Each structure stands twice: as C-alpha cells, then as structure tokens.
Chains A and B, each alone.
Chain A
Amino acid sequence: MRHLLSAADLDRATAVHLLDTASQMAATQAREIKKLPTLRGRTVVNLFFEDSTRTRISFEAAAKRLSADVINFSAKGSSVSKGESLKDTALTLQAMGADAVVVRHQASGAPHRLAHSGWVDGAVVNAGDGTHQHPTQALLDAFTLRRHLRGDADNPDGVGLDLTGLHVAIVGDVLHSRVARSNVNLLHTLGAEVTLVAPPTLVPVGAESWTSRTSYHLDQVLADQQPDAIMMLRVQRERMGGDGTGAGRTGFFPSPLEYTRAYGLDARRLALLPEHAIVMHPGPMNRGLEISADAADSPRAVIVEQVANGVAVRMAVLYLLLAKEKETTP
C-alpha cells in the first residue's frame, strides 16, 4: 500500500490487516503512556482545504501518538479563491519534506491528483474528497462494527475476522456522501450486506451498479431486514427545500419535517431494530433532523466510540504506510 485514496482500493486481506493493526493500536491507547516511538523523525502534513476539526484532530492525535512530527496546513476555502493552486501547495509541502500528506479537499479526486501527478513523493491519505471517498471513516466504521458484532469474550475486537453475514443500513443523503460511498465499497469487501435508504432525490444516478441495495422506505427496511447496524448520514442544510436556507431554490426534499418523518431515526424506529443492533453516525449530527436525541443518546449508539476508534484506525493507516513502507512497496 503506497497511498490510501479510496476504500475501493482495499482488498479483503488488506482491510482485515488494517483493522487488526488498528486493534493493536487501540490496545496501546489503554496504557498510561500512549505514545509509541514508531514514526519518530517522520513528518505528517495535515493538508485541509475544507474545515473539519474532527477529522484533523483525529489524524493529528494518531500521528503524534506514533511520535511523528505534525504540520497542520489549513488552506481554507478553495485553492482557487486562495490564489494558490493545489499544485503549488503540493510542491511547497514536498519541499518541506513531508513523508505523508493527509488531505481533505472539497473537490472529488484532489487526493488522487496529488498522488498521481508527481507533485509529491510522500504517501497520500485521503481524509475526505468532495462527494467521492473518505476511506478512514469506512475503516473506523468497519472496526466499530466488527468489535460490536463479531467480537466475543476471548477476542473482543474480532481480530482476524471480517463482516460476513452482517447487514448494515445506511440512511440519508447518499448522493453527496463520501461516507456512504466508502462504506459501500469496504463493507461489501468485508462480506457485509449494505442497504442504502434515502429519498430517491438523494440516491445518485448510477448507484444501481453498486454492490449495495437501495430502498426508499426506512420502516420497511427496519421491519423486513432487521439490520445489525444502522448508520445515519448527516443531512446538509443546503440540501433542503422549503424553510431550509436554500430559499427559492429547488431542494432535494420538501421540508426538514417531511424528511424526519420518513427517514429520521427516532425512538419508535429505534425500537424496531433487533436487540443487538447498533446505531452509528459519522458526525457531526443534526439532532432532531436525521437522528433524534433518544436515538443518539441511547445505549445502542456507538457514535462517541466511533470517534475513539478513528484515532486507532488512523494510527494503523499511518503506521502501515510509513513504518512498513519498505516492506510493502515493490
């Protein structure tokens, strides 16, 4: 593995190995001294063209706990409006000697461009690009799913296992969601079945070619399929019609209230889930829109744990890309 650009690039063995490594990393985080010397002397640049405090601090924590030097480069707003091109930013980082570039960008494919343009030598980690991919989110989701639904007393993290036989419902704005795309790829690779649930306006044309199924009816999916996990996606304010902020523009659904009625996870729908099912959300949540406080704060919700697992997964990614570079690069 030279870069991590898309969850679609991971085969089953690599994905399981990443999750197993994350499990080892998580174990070290239970110690009093959390820091490992593994990446001492290596430089990780967090290149964020888009605001994302959560993802940035998660990567920052992961790199620091591996003793890497971390440079945070916040190029907020588009590269164009900032007046410097992606290329020049990349060349600057290259000149500073970045061993890995963790990039978040509003343009789909920007990390792919960085990795394949010859502008940087270092490993490129996609921390979310436009409406394309967010592979570390999918990895942390898979890690969380495996831990809760595959782990047992002897093997609490389900080390060595995949997600075969599990059924996951992903609910919400699939059209604009890199989280959904990444999870469709990775969860399928790991053997899980994925059902996307969304109003038809928020399912991309072409999704029929994906490895997932699509439904427009959340209640039906909950009743008939009894998913082992339900993952709620964030609904962006600007996607709304009616009294959303996009006044006078055509929304993807008539109103927030109608969305919540059809696709929100509330106490009633929570009760329809099987006993063992978990509730996930990549954050940040719109409480009262896609998820009610009852659901978000219920014992089944693993949303806060997803955040913790994110650090372990990102440690594993950086470790496998940088510390094991020589062994894995042909």
Chain B
Amino acid sequence: MSATYLLRGAAPLGGDPTDLLLADGRIVAVGADAARDAGDAEVVDAAGLVALPGLVDLHTHLREPGREDAETVASGTRAAALGGFTAVHAMANTSPVADTAGVVEQVWRLGRDAGWADVLPVGAVSVGLAGEQLAELGAMAHSAARVRVFSDDGKCVHDPVLMRRALEYVKAFDGVIAQHAQEPRLTVGAQMHEGVVSADVGLAGWPAVAEEAIIARDVLLAEHVGSRLHVCHLSTAGSVEILRWAKSRGIDVTAEVTPHHLLLTDELARTYDPLYKVNPPLRTDADVMAVRAGLADGTIDIVATDHAPHTREDKDCEWAAAAFGMTGLETALSVVQTTMVDTGLLGWADVARVLSTAPARIGRIDTGERAHGRPLAVGEPANVTLIDPAARWTVDPAALASASRNTPYGGRELGGRVVATFLRGRPTVLDAVAVPQPAPAR
C-alpha cells in the first residue's frame, strides 16, 4: 500500500510554494528533492494552498464516556481532522470524570482506535471536579495516556489552597494546570456577560471581574510557587491586561482564546437563541478587539476551540434552561483566518504558532516519535494541514461532522477552508472530505 504522498506546490507557512514528500510517517524531502524522490507517490495538487504543521487543540470536549449522544471520541476526532487538527486534548468533564488513570487510558485508547487524530486526555485536578481533593495526578501522568495537562474545566478550581497544591504538585512531571477562571460566588445563576445587553434582556450577568479576579490570583500563586499555569478561554480586555502584566514579570503563564471570543459578541443574546450561550460568555466588542490585540502581540499564546457539543434538546429550549457551549473544531481555522489573518493581525507563521507549535509545547507533546507542532522540515513527523485561504464557505450545521449541531456560525460566510490533513503521513482528510480510517490493529 502506498503510504507516500507528494504535496505539490504547497506554501509552507504561507511562504514560497514548494513540494513536500511524506513517507513512512515523516517528511522525507522538501523542495526539488521531493519531486525527484517521489517515485509512485500519490500526488496532491497543493497549488495555492498553505501548508501548516497539523493543528493542535488544547481544549476539546469529546463527551465520551458518558454523553455519547452529543459526541464520541470517534465523531469528535473526525470533526477535528476536518478542521485540520492532528491532535486534540480531551477535557476531563466526562461521566465518569477523567480523574483516574483508568478513565484517561480509556479515552486515550478510544482515540487511538478511531485514528482520526491523537487524543491527549486532560486529567481532572480534583476528584469528581468537586474542587475539594486532588485527583491522582501522578497516576494519570504515568499512565499510558501520559497526561500533562490537568483541568477541572467547566468548573473553576476556586479554593486557593487546592489551586496552590495542584500547581506545586504537577511540577514533578512537568505538568500544567489549565484553569477555568470563574469565581463561583460572583456567577451564581449567571447566563451571559454582565453589561448593557444583560440589563436590557434581563438575563443574570456573568461579570468580567469573576474571570479577572481568578486570573490575577492564579498568576500570583504561580509566581509564588514557581509553577506553570495555563489560562483557559480568556475572554475579557481586563484579563488580557493582567496576562500582559504577569508575563512582563516573568511569570510562567500561558493563555488561550477561543475562536468565538475572537468573533462574536453579547449582542447575539438579544435573539435569546441558546446557540449563543457559552461559558465564559460572549463579551463586548471592546473585549473582542482586546483579545485579538492580545493574540496578535503574543500576550495570548494560543487559540483553542473549547469545542462543546450538545444535543438538540439541550439547546432547543429557553435560554436559562439551555446548556453552555458551542462546537468549534470544524470552524476554528476559518474563524482565525477571518478575524486575524484577513485583518492583517497575524501571518500564517503566526497561525502555525498559535494553533500548532505553542499548544503542542504547552501540552508537552512536541517531542518524540508522536510529536506535534514541529517544523515542516525533513525528518519531522508528517503532520501537515493544507488550507485554501482563498476559499469562502457558508457554514451549514447539518453538513458538519460533529455529532452535535450547536455551531453559532450557521449561515455565516467564513474565509479559508481545510483541504487536507495528514497524521504521521496518513491522510485523514483529502479534498476537504474525511478519509475513512483503517480498523485498529488488535
């Protein structure tokens, strides 16, 4: 079976077009050598396409085990591949919670069996996400799943002592705590961003300060104990300022922003359509501009999807009764192109950094045989995403691969489309269509 692909005329990181030859899971030749050595390689016409290292999502909800009606590891990673991702970090708020070596290994194995993308399970910080007692972080770190990212995402590690202990404890295996920054008492019953729109529509407010207060506390804790901190889905202008200050002090903190916080605002809540209900909530136009600026100047390190699939019944209801969250794997790159590249804020090399290199580094999956976020260079693992930056497409929720349809972009036209994705030289997507993956070897 031919496992050799010649990507002809691709523009690595948007630079000069060249050829890349993928064989035996690696990039074996770049440039003139590639065509020469291609032999009977399958040729992919990549003229006009940008080549990026396979995208890495640090924040995905795959819902399995427990809510297979919303998403499974297989359906979610297939959606990820179609979005250009070769690795996804699966959040821990499943049922049962991924707070033991057993559950993280189960998720990791499901990902390996599905084959669409590498699945890196995130371990819960606290038992049952209850915020009371540390989960067995060491056991998860030393399991087959090699967990390095720990998060109670969906809930905030609000107890400062527990947060301190977690930050300290994971230093033993170079782990990182990814914090969902939400002061719980300030957000009891919260439904949307607190401001002008919430006052009008009468939905309980989720104030920016509830995020900013926790981030401020956590960067100080991280500085005090000399630990690595990652801030999930940062969403406010004030949070960007705090991050900027923390980084200027040399605190070891990284942060992510979601595609939806780069594009959408709280004005959408006026429709009362729960498709726009998400946590943290959509903020104001000023916040959108601030997170874009923060991503452009490096204050925010990465874009992560917070892909949060929900069943129709969890969204086909009144706002207050609906679940928080929106899908994002298949639209992330297009939203980043639309908001950051087409606006001149980022180049394609920056996109590679914020969607591949930096998240792989934060998750400590940037070394070894199964490394991600590596340069598009000879000898590197052949994780490659090809994008057509000139394509325009209108999002049709029913046409997306996720098992759930709660995309906020239905009917919206976005720029840029993923054409092909290669995971260690094997195509998961070709011609913008998912390539069926071989059954797992047992």
Contact = CB atoms under 8 A, between A and B. Distances in A.
B195 A205 contact: yes
Contacts of A106: 320
Interface in B171-215: 191, 194-205, 207
Please indicate which of the listed interface residues B271, B313, B316 has the most CB atoms of chain A within 10 Å of its own CB: B316
Interface in A220-270: none
A178 B199 CA distance: 11
Contacts of B318: 79, 86, 105, 107, 109-110, 113
B207 A112 contact: no
A129 B272 CA distance: 12
Contacts of B108: none
Nearest to B202: A132
Please indicate which of the listed interface residues B272, B273, B316, B317 has the most CB atoms of chain A within 10 Å of its own CB: B272
Nearest to B320: A107
A181 B196 CA distance: 13
Contacts of B324: none
Contacts of A86: 317-318, 321
A78 B189 CA distance: 15
B316 A87 contact: yes
A109 B199 contact: no
B202 A205 contact: no
B319 interface: yes
Nearest to A174: B199
B203 A79 contact: no
A111 B313 CA distance: 18
A181 B201 CA distance: 9
A131 B272 contact: no
Contact of A206 (B197, B271, B313, B316): B197
B321 A109 contact: no
A107 B203 CA distance: 8
Contact of A181 (B191, B202, B272): B202
A271 interface: no
Given A80-B321, A85-B317, A108-B320, A113 B199 contact: no
Interface string A210-225: 1000000000000000
Contacts of A87: 316-317
B105 to A, nearest CB: 35
A133 B271 CA distance: 14
Contacts of A116: 271-272
A131 B189 CA distance: 13
A96 interface: no
Contacts of B191: 108
B194 A205 contact: yes
Contact of B198 (A79, A178, A204): A204
Nearest to B192: A108
A158 B108 CA distance: 74
Contact of B196 (A78, A107, A112, A209): A209
B202 A108 contact: yes
Interface in A163-216: 178, 181, 204-207, 209-210
Contact of A112 (B272, B320, B321): B272
Contact of A205 (B205, B272, B321): B205
B316 A204 contact: no
Contact of A107 (B195, B273, B319): B319
Contacts of A205: 194-195, 198-199, 205, 207
Contacts of B196: 206, 209
Contacts of A209: 196, 199-200
A110 B203 CA distance: 11
Contacts of B199: 204-207, 209-210
A109 B319 contact: yes
Nearest to A78: B321
A80 B200 CA distance: 25
Interface string B235-256: 0000000000000000000000
A130 interface: yes
A91 to B, nearest CB: 11
Contacts of B273: 113
Interface string A71-91: 000000011100001110000
A8 B273 CA distance: 19
A130 B202 contact: yes
A79 B316 CA distance: 12
Nearest to A109: B272
A130 B205 CA distance: 13
Interface in A42-87: 78-80, 85-87
A110 B272 CA distance: 8
Please indicate which of the listed interface residues B195, B201, B271 has the most CB atoms of chain A within 10 Å of its own CB: B201
A113 B202 contact: no
A117 B191 CA distance: 20
A113 B318 CA distance: 6
A80 B320 CA distance: 10
A8 B202 CA distance: 13
Contacts of A204: 198-199, 205
Please indicate which of the listed interface residues A80, A117, A181, A205 has the most CB atoms of chain B within 10 Å of its own CB: A205
A79 B195 contact: no
Interface of B: 191, 194-205, 207, 271-273, 313, 316-321
30 contacts: A85-B321, A86-B317, A86-B318, A86-B321, A87-B317, A105-B318, A106-B320, A107-B318, A108-B191, A108-B202, A108-B272, A109-B201, A112-B271, A113-B317, A116-B271, A131-B203, A131-B204, A132-B201, A132-B203, A204-B199, A205-B199, A206-B194, A206-B197, A206-B198, A206-B200, A206-B205, A209-B196, A209-B199, A209-B200, A210-B199
Instruction: Sort A-B residue pairs by CB-CB distance and give the 6 closest, nearest first.
Output: A206-B199, A132-B202, A109-B272, A131-B202, A107-B318, A107-B320
Given A112-B271, A113-B272, 15 more contacts: A78-B321, A79-B317, A87-B317, A107-B319, A109-B318, A109-B320, A112-B272, A113-B319, A116-B272, A132-B202, A133-B202, A205-B199, A206-B199, A206-B205, A210-B199
Interface of A: 8, 78-80, 85-87, 105-110, 112-113, 116-117, 129-133, 178, 181, 204-207, 209-210
